[in-house]
Amino acid sequence: MPLWWAPRGALVALALLAPLVLGLLAGCQRYDTLRRDLDTLERWAEVRGEVSVPEWEGGPLVVAAFRAPEREGAPFTRADVQELARPGAFLFRLEPGAYSFCVFEDRDGDRTHGPDEPYGVWEGFEPVALAPAERLERLRLVAGSRGAGPPRRPAPDCRSMRVGELASLDEPRFDAAHGQLGVWEPLAFLRERAYGLFVLREDAPAEPGSSAVRVPVVFVHGITGYAREFEEAVAGLDRARFEPWVFQYASGLPLETHAERLAQALREMRARRGVGRVCLVAHSMGGLVSRAAFDHLGAGSPEVPLFVTLASPLAGHEGAAAGVAMAPVVVPAWNDLVRGSPFLEGLYDPPLPATTHYGLFFAYASSSPWSGAPGDGVVTLESQLRAEAQAEASWMRGFQAGHADILRDEQTLAELRLLLEQRCAAEAGAAEVPIGTSVDLGARAPGDAADP
């Protein structure tokens, strides 16, 4: 796409906004791929429903969607599955086609249906046809029968979002190339099994006889980000006290979608592993995804005693509007990053739970390329220090680091480890300890005014 006609100021702006609109300078092929992927994803159907179990005994509930065969007599294939910690809501996003739905209570924890486990199916397991972009609401599944029920034979996991899969940051799917793929080629990103909540493998086996309960720490990246960006933060964790997880997602897609999926994955991990509490550490746009996820956490979700954002554009990004105005195909996440967008306007409604302590880490290494205002070279201080975020913060701490460098900054990582030790690993009700040289605002109820 030729840009010789653009005003010089616009060209400079585009060059400075590389993390968001680099694709404008990469030619039309990238946009053609993005357009095709977005058109395909917009055709996917959405199925929402509720599960009830009249004689529920406390076991996790496995909800599955099976795609009907194209020819009579052929087997059904599992299209997606999720686990609930208790009866309640479920959500599937599926390609257009015919699907059957079922649920069972997994009382023995083997993730397959047994003859003594209650199950239920939708309309006698008759397939329901899902048209492109259809929204099917209030699909009700009741697990109450026993005996021969849903297919017992485990099927290959065809899920587009992985949940609880053991992984290593050395894997190619967690590299920078996949960070770009998640913006410009989201379908390829999904096909490479790069989307999901991953549990990082141990560097070394646990010591014999160790029975310590470890708290998961979930790391969430920003736009064009990827899980390996947290390599230094993960390496600094005390593995005897913490278990690192990473949430990697196609960061060009709408942020509300990822927020809902993050919450869904956390609920599933509670159902599967009995995880009662997790802590969230989010960089850049990941702070917006993580903050929005609180709106979807509820019954059946783990408690979040600590939430930390690192250099997050909490009030939006000045350059997002340029991408929306000038790009031949708009990356959906840009719409959410525009200042005053509906997503940003609703970000702090509802407030954080009273049991969640919030650490606001901001960076101030250089000026904004857009306005000359102080910031980290990508996000202004004004956006990082949004008033509503300050009002929710228990701690605020500034670091002289760049936007990406904050993830490798020794002082930042030391403060993060200290905060995790004090608020993430501590027993509930433990006395609060000052955070070194941090600005300690004290725990306050959401909505209270911040100190000047």
pLDDT in tens, 348-387: 999 999 999 999 999 998 766 655 678 999 999 999 999 9
Angle at 189 between CA 184 and CA 190, to 5 degrees: 130
What rounded mean pLDDT belongs to the chain?
84
pLDDT at 369: 62
- The encoded tokens of residue 314 equal 């909490």
Mean pLDDT lowest among 162-176, 194-208, 227-241: 194-208
Question: For the purposes of burial, counting CB atoms within 10 Å of the CB of 135, is it exposed (0-12), middle (13-18) or buried (19 or more)?
Answer: exposed
Give me the mean pLDDT over the 327-344 stretch: 95
Nearest residue to 316 via CA among 346, 337, 341, 289: 337
pLDDT at 209 over 90: no
- The candidate with the shortest Cα–Cα distance to 65, out of 76, 56, 74, 53, is 76
Q: Determine phi and psi for 97, rounding to 5 degrees.
A: 155, -170
Distance (Å, whole) CA 411 – CA 300: 36
Question: CA-to-CA distance for 42 and 395, rounded, in angstroms?
Answer: 40
The pLDDT score that the predictor gives to residue 115 is 84
What is the pLDDT, as a whole number, of residue 451? 29
Domains for the chain: give ranges and CATH numbers: 45-142 (2.60.40), 162-203+212-440 (3.40.50.1820)
Residue 125 pLDDT grade (very low, low, confident, very high; cuts 50, 70, 90): confident
pLDDT at 154 over 80: no
* Strand 45-52 relative to strand 89-94, pairing: antiparallel
pLDDT of residue 5: 36
- The closest alpha carbon to 255, from 349, 336, 311, belongs to 336
Backbone phi, then psi, for 191, in 5-degree steps? -65, -30
Sign of CA dihedral 254, 258, 260, 261: positive
pLDDT score recorded for residue 440: 32
Band of the pLDDT at 300, cuts 50, 70, 90?
confident
* pLDDT attached to residue 8: 33
% of residues, the chain, pLDDT over 90: 66
The pLDDT of residue 430 is above 60: no
Q: Is a pLDDT exceeding 80 seen at residue 49? A: yes
- pLDDT band, very low/low/confident/very high, at 71 (cuts 50, 70, 90): confident
- Average pLDDT on 320-340 reads 92
First to last CA, the chain: 48
What's residue 149's pLDDT? 67
Please report the pLDDT score of residue 246 as a whole number: 98
